[in-house]
C-alpha cells in the first residue's frame, strides 16, 4: 500500500516536472514566435493586439495615440547582405528609437521597417516634434560597424482618434503618409485626410483601369496634336491618350498615366497607342500623299521591358511603315534610370531610322553636355520655360543656351506649349526649329485632324 502511494507520488512529481518543462518550453517557443530574431523586438501581431487594447481603453481615458511606421532609407540595402553588420545596426537603431518612445517599438514584416506606438500625444504638432526627434536619432552617425554610412529614414504617422478609429485604419493611414512622403522625398510625417482621399481615388481608378482593359480598352481613344516648322509646314504630330471612363467620366492623362505606370498597365496601353497611332499615320500617308511623322510618349517601364525594341520593329513591319516616320518621346529621367540598357535600345531603334525625343527638357537632371553624348535627335523645351520666355531674362538665357548647344549636337529643338504669337516670334528669332501648342492647334481627334490639317 505504502509502496503504491510512494510510486504515485513519484509519478505525480515526474508529471509535474515534465509539465513545468513543457510550460517553460511553451513560454520559450511563444517568445521566439513573437519576437524578431535580429532585433529581439516584438512583432507586428503583438503590436496589433496591444493597439486594439489601447484604443479600447482610450475610449474612456480620452488618450490620443500615435501609430508610426519607420522605414530605413536605401543606404540600408548596402549593408543588408553583411548579416552581422546589419544585426548590430538594426539593434542600435532600435535602441535609439526606444530612448524616445520607450518599449513601444515593434518589428515590421520587413527587416528595414519598425512600427511604433506613441502614447499620450497632445496634438499633431506634438506628434510631429516626436517624429523629428526620432528621425534625428536615426540619422546620427554610427560608430563602427557602420561609420562609413549615414542612415536616414522616412516616417509615416497617423493619430487616433483624429485620423482613424480602428487598428486597421490607423495602420493603413500611416502607410499612406509614409508612401507619399517617401515618394516626394519630404521629411514630413503626418497623414492628412487629403492624402487618404487621393489614395482611395487612385485605387478606384486603378480598378476601373483594369476593368476597362479587360473590356478591350473601353473608353480609350487617341488625339493628335500637330507640330509645325517655321514656315507652318506640318512635320510631326504627337499622339496623346484620352480616357472616358464608364464610371468616372473623362480622366486626364496626368491622373491615370502615373497609376497605369505604377500598376504596370502602361505596357498594354503604350503598345496600343503606338500601334494605333502608327496605323492612322499610315492611312493618312496613303490617302493624302503627305509625309510627316508620328511621335509617341514612352514611359520608363515600357522601354525597360525586355521585348520593347522587338515589339516596335514587329509593329512597323506589320504596318509596312518606315521607321523614319516614328519618333519616341522619353523624359530625361527615363534615360537616367537605367542608362546602359536604355542607350543600347535607343541605338537599336535609331538603326531603323526611329528618332528619339527628349520630352519636357529642362525639368529633369538637365546635363546638356551629357545629353550630347547620347543617341538623341530632338529636344522638346518644357512649357514652363516657353511660358515666360519673353518676360523672364533667365528663361530667355536658358532657351538661348539650349538652342545654341542643340545646334552643336545636331539636335532639333521643339518648343512645346506655345500659346501666344509673341512667343512664337521670339522663339523663331533665337533659332528654334519646331513648334507645338494651342496657338497652332489643340490636340484633335483623327477626324478633326484630317478635316483641319490634311484636306
Ligand atoms: P506631355 O507629353 O508634355 O504632353 C503635352 C501636354 O501639353 C498635353 O497634355 C497637351 O495637350 C498639352 N498642351 C499642348 N499644347 C499646349 C498649350 O499650348 N498649352 C497648354 N496649357 N497645354 C498644352 P495631355 O494630353 O493632358 O498630356 C499630359 C501628359 O500625359 C503628357 O505630357 C504625357 O506626359 C502624358 N501622356 C499623354 N499621353 C500619353 C501616352 O500615350 N503615354 C504616356 N506614357 N504618357 C502620355
Ligand atoms: Ca510628350
**Per residue in 298-354, pLDDT tens?**
999 999 999 999 999 999 999 999 999 999 999 988 888 888 999 999 999 999 999
pLDDT of residue 366: 61
Region 431-450: mean pLDDT is 97
Q: Whose CA is nearest to atom 41 of ligand 1?
A: 241
- What is the radius of gyration, based on Cα positions, of the chain? 30
| Residue with CA closest to ligand 1 atom 24 | 253
Those residues with Cβ within 8 angstroms of residue 203's Cβ, 6 or more apart along the chain or in another chain:
none
Confidence (pLDDT) at 3: 64
Ligand 1 nearest atom to the CA of residue 257, by list position: 45
The number of beta carbons lying within 10 Å of the beta carbon of residue 383 is: 17
With b for 16 or more beta-carbon neighbours within 10 A and e for fewer, the 350-369 pattern comes to eeeebbbbbbbbbebeeebe
| Residues 112, 244: Cα–Cα separation, whole Å | 41
Closest ligand 1 atom to residue 329 Cα is: 2
Cα separation, 265 vs 257, whole angstroms: 9
How far is it, in rounded angstroms, from Cα 176 to Cα 435? 41
Measure 342 CA to ligand 1 centroid, in angstroms: 23
Residues with CB under 6 A from ligand 1: 225, 240-241, 252-254, 257, 270, 273, 297, 299, 359-360, 417-419, 436-438, 443
- The answer to whether residues 94 and 113 touch, using CB atoms and an 8 Å cutoff, is no
Which atom of ligand 1 is nearest the CA belonging to 254? 30
User: Ligand 2 centroid vs 274 CA: distance in angstroms?
Assistant: 13
Read off the DSSP letter of residue 187. -
Q: Model confidence at 86, in pLDDT bands (50, 70, 90)?
A: confident
Least confidently predicted of 345-359, 371-385, 441-455: 371-385
Nearest CA to ligand 1 atom 35: 253
Per-position DSSP letters for 392-418, written without gaps between them: -HHHHHHHHHHHHHHHHHT-EEEE-S-
Does the structure show a pLDDT above 90 at 14? no
Q: How far is Cα 416 from Cα 263, in angstroms, rounded to an integer?
A: 29
The mean pLDDT of 29-51, rounded to a whole number, is: 89
Element (H, E) at 266: helix 266-288
pLDDT in tens, 95-154: 999 999 999 999 999 988 999 999 999 999 999 999 999 999 999 887 765 555 567 899
pLDDT in tens, 179-228: 999 988 888 999 999 999 999 999 999 999 999 999 999 999 999 999 99
pLDDT digits (tens, 9 = 90+) for 150-179: 678 999 999 999 999 999 999 999 999 999
pTM: 0.81
CA 224, CA 448: separation in Å to the nearest integer? 9
Distance from the CA of 382 to the center of ligand 2, in angstroms? 10
d(CA 140, CA 138): 6
Give the pLDDT confidence score for residue 309 in this predicted structure.
98
What residue owns the CA closest to ligand 1's atom 17?
Answer: 417
pLDDT computed for residue 132 by the predictor: 97
Statement: residue 365 has pLDDT above 70: no
Point out the least confidently predicted range of 11-15, 175-179, 415-419.
11-15
**Residue 416 in contact with residue 383, Cβ under 8 Å?**
yes
* CA-based torsion, 116, 118, 119, 123: positive or negative: negative
Query: Helices (H) and strands (E) in the chain — how many of each?
Result: 18, 14
pLDDT in tens, 261-273: 999 999 999 999 9
- What is the pLDDT of the chain when averaged over all its residues? 91
Cβ atoms of residues 222 and 446 within 8 Å: yes
Counted residue by residue, the chain has a size of 455
* Distance in Å, CA 227 to ligand 2 centroid: 11
Residue 5 has pLDDT above 70, yes or no: no
Peptide bond preceding 161 in cis form (omega within 30 of 0): yes
Distance (Å, whole) CA 90 – CA 39 = 6
Mean pLDDT of 224-238: 97
Place of cell 527638357: 361
Mutation test residue for ligand 1: of 257, 258, 278, the one with most atoms within 8 Å of CB: 257
Distance CA 105, CA 89 (A): 16
| Residue of 111, 334, 324, 105 lying closest to 235 (CA atoms) | 324
Amino acid at each position: 500500500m505504502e509502496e503504491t502511494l510512494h510510486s504515485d507520488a513519484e509519478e505525480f512529481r515526474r508529471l509535474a516536472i515534465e509539465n513545468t518543462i513543457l510550460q517553460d518550453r511553451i513560454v520559450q517557443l511563444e517568445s521566439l514566435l513573437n519576437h524578431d530574431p535580429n532585433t529581439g523586438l516584438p512583432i507586428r501581431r503583438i503590436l496589433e493586439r496591444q493597439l486594439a487594447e489601447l484604443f479600447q481603453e482610450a475610449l474612456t481615458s480620452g488618450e490620443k495615440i500615435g501609430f508610426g511606421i519607420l522605414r530605413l532609407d536605401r543606404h540600408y540595402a548596402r549593408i543588408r547582405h553583411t548579416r552581422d553588420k546589419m544585426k548590430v545596426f538594426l539593434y542600435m537603431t532600435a535602441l535609439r528609437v526606444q530612448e524616445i518612445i520607450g518599449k513601444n517599438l515593434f518589428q515590421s514584416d520587413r527587416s528595414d521597417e519598425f512600427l511604433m506606438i506613441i502614447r499620450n500625444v497632445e496634438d499633431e504638432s506634438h506628434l510631429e516634434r516626436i517624429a523629428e526627434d526620432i528621425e534625428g536619432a536615426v540619422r546620427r552617425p554610427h560608430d563602427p560597424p557602420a561609420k562609413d554610412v549615414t542612415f536616414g529614414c522616412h516616417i509615416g504617422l497617423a493619430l487616433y482618434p483624429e485620423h482613424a478609429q480602428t487598428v486597421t485604419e490607423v495602420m493603413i493611414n500611416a502607410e499612406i503618409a509614409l508612401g507619399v512622403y517617401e515618394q516626394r522625398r519630404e521629411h514630413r510625417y503626418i497623414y492628412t485626410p487629403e492624402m487618404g482621399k487621393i489614395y482611395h481615388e487612385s485605387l478606384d481608378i486603378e480598378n476601373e483601369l483594369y476593368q476597362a482593359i479587360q473590356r478591350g480598352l473601353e473608353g480609350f481613344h487617341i488625339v493628335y496634336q500637330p507640330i509645325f516648322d517655321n514656315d507652318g509646314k506640318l512635320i510631326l504630330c504627337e499622339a496623346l491618350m484620352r480616357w472616358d471612363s464608364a464610371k468616372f467620366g473623362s480622366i486626364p492623362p496626368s491622373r491615370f498615366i502615373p497609376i497605369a505606370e505604377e500598376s504596370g498597365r502602361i505596357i498594354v496601353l503604350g503598345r496600343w497607342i503606338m500601334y494605333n497611332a502608327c496605323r492612322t499615320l499610315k492611312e493618312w500617308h496613303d490617302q493624302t500623299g503627305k509625309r510627316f511623322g508620328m511621335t509617341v510618349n514612352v514611359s520608363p517601364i515600357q522601354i525597360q521591358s525586355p521585348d520593347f525594341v522587338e515589339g516596335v520593329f514587329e509593329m512597323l513591319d506589320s504596318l509596312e511603315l518606315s521607321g523614319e516616320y516614328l519618333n519616341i518621346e522619353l523624359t530625361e529621367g527615363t534615360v537616367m534610370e537605367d542608362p546602359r540598357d536604355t542607350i543600347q535600345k535607343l541605338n537599336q531603334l535609331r538603326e531603323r531610322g526611329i528618332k528619339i525625343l527628349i520630352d519636357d527638357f529642362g525639368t529633369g537632371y538637365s546635363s546638356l553636355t551629357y545629353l550630347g553624348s547620347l543617341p538623341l535627335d530632338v529636344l522638346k523645351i518644357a512649357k514652363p520655360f516657353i511660358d515666360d520666355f519673353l518676360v523672364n531674362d533667365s528663361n530667355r538665357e536658358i532657351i538661348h543656351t539650349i538652342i545654341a548647344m542643340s545646334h552643336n549636337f545636331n539636335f532639333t529643338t521643339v518648343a512645346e506649349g506655345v500659346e501666344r504669337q509673341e512667343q512664337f516670334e521670339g522663339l523663331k528669332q533665337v533659332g528654334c526649329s519646331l513648334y507645338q501648342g494651342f496657338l497652332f492647334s489643340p490636340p484633335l481627334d483623327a477626324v478633326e485632324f484630317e478635316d483641319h490639317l490634311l484636306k
